[in-house]
Amino acid sequence: MRVHIPSVFIFLLAFSGGLFFQLPEANGLTGPSVSYGSNPVVSVGDYINNSHPFSISAPSASGLLITDIHLSGSGDMILYATLSNGIQVGRWQVQSGAPIYTSMRSGILIPAGETLTFSSNTNYYTASATISGHYVH
């Protein structure tokens, strides 16, 4: 049996090209670079009142960009978001039965090694919080 080399070459080229163009698209997060493989996303939750602040920390090697905040409270209260360097970066007035959904395009940056603490002005009421974002560097 005689094999025609140019025909085999054309077949292999067409076959490998077909595989290349059929690979699915890869989509990443836009914005600052991420280096946590395929899962740079962080999501945490806890309750907040004056005697139980809720904190989230960025690792020492990268920052943490908070992009979404969901808050709901058992009564009227004010919640504060303060970085460990003392800078207040957020303030929300939470009312019973009126949850707050905050989705930020630019977000709140927790610099590498810093902590963001959510606190309240009251012990009488409690708020629940879900915070999400992604690592950046």
Q: For 38-90, write each residue's pLDDT tens digit.
A: 567 899 999 998 899 999 999 998 899 999 999 999 999 999 999 999 999 99
Neighbour count for residue 131 (Cβ, 10 Å)? 23
**Sign of torsion over alpha carbons 101, 103, 109, 113:** positive
Q: Which residue has the higher pLDDT, 36 or 120?
A: 120
Rounded Cα distance, 61 and 107, in Å: 19
Total H helices, total E strands in the chain: 1, 8
* Residue 3 pLDDT exceeds 70: no
For the 28-136 domain, the top CATH level (class) is mainly beta
User: What per-residue confidence (pLDDT) applies to 11?
Assistant: 62
As a whole-number percent, the residues of the chain with pLDDT over 90 amount to 57
* Domain definitions of the chain by residue range: 28-136
Is residue 115 within 8 Å of 55, Cβ to Cβ?
yes
Where does 1-137 have alpha helices with state H?
A: 5-21
